Amino acid sequence: MRTFRLVIACPDRVGIVARVSNFLTAYNGWITEANHHSDNQSGWFFMRHEIRADSLPFGLEALRQAFAPIAEEFSMIWRVTDSARRQRVILMASRESHCLSDLLHRWHSGELDCEIPCVIANHEDLRSMVEWHGIPYVHVPVDPADKQKAFAEVTRLVHEHEADTLVLARYMQILPPVLCQDFAHRIINIHHSFLPSFVGARPYHQASLRGVKLIGATCHYVTEELDAGPIIEQDVVRVSHRDSIDDMVRLGRDVEKMVLSRGLRYHLEDRVLVHDNKTVVFA
Q: Which residues carry out catalysis? A: 227
Cross-strand partners of 65: none
The rounded distance, in Å, linking the Cα atoms of 224 and 214 is 28
The rounded distance, in Å, linking the Cα atoms of 167 and 188 is 5
Helix %, strand %, coil % of the chain (to 5): 35, 30, 35
Q: Could you give the 3-state DSSP secondary structure of residue 273?
A: strand
Outline where DSSP puts E strands in the chain: 3-11, 31-39, 44-52, 77-82, 87-93, 114-115, 119-121, 137-139, 165-168, 187-191, 214-221, 231-238, 272-275, 278-281
The rounded distance, in Å, linking the Cα atoms of 138 and 120 is 5
The rounded distance, in Å, linking the Cα atoms of 56 and 27 is 6
The rounded distance, in Å, linking the Cα atoms of 127 and 193 is 27
The torsion angle over the Cα atoms of residues 55, 60, 66 and 68, rounded to 10 degrees, is 130
